[in-house]
Every structure is written in structure tokens, then in C-alpha cells.
Amino acid sequence: MSSLAANLLAFGRVLRALGLDVSPTQGREALAALAAVGLARRGDVYHALSATLVSRAADRPVFAAAFDAFWKEHAAGGARKAPDGSHDTVS
């Protein structure tokens, strides 16, 4: 399993723990979306994952907070870096 897939799997678990209904199918769709948009721009990654992993509008703020916390933590660890840049959806 690639480190991207492993990180995405871990992120899906975080989202499920926070109450989002993330299915295995959505996880595969998220991986395919990342392959399509690439990892160079954080905003593209954010929106690709949001579009594939969030089913309810009420879950968007939870997703946004989880995205920022999860990928910031992984970037700080050095071994697994999040894409560079920023997204304009969350301040």
C-alpha cells in the first residue's frame, strides 16, 4: 500500500470517528480523485477529498477542521507530508 493510500485510510478513520459516514467506496473515489488532481496544490487536494468524502453539508465544518489538523500533524512529523499551499475554504 502506498503512503498516500495509508494516509488516506487513516484520514477516513478519523472522519468516521468524528461521525462522518465514510464508506470504502468513497475512500476509493477519494484516491482516484487525488490521482486526477495531483498533490501539488493543497486546495485541489482539499476540494477533491471534500467532494468525495463528505455526504452532508452539515459535515463540511467537521471535515475542514479534521483536514487541517490531520495533514498539519502529518506535515510536522516529516515522514508523511501534506501537499503545499493553502485552501481558501477554511481560515
Give the integer Cα–Cα distance in Å for 19 and 74.
Answer: 21
pTM over 0.85: no
Place of cell 468525495: 52
C-alpha cell at 23: 464508506
From first to last of its 91 residues, the chain has per-residue pLDDT tens of 788 899 999 999 999 999 999 999 999 999 999 999 999 999 999 999 999 999 999 999 999 999 999 888 766 654 434 444 444 333 2
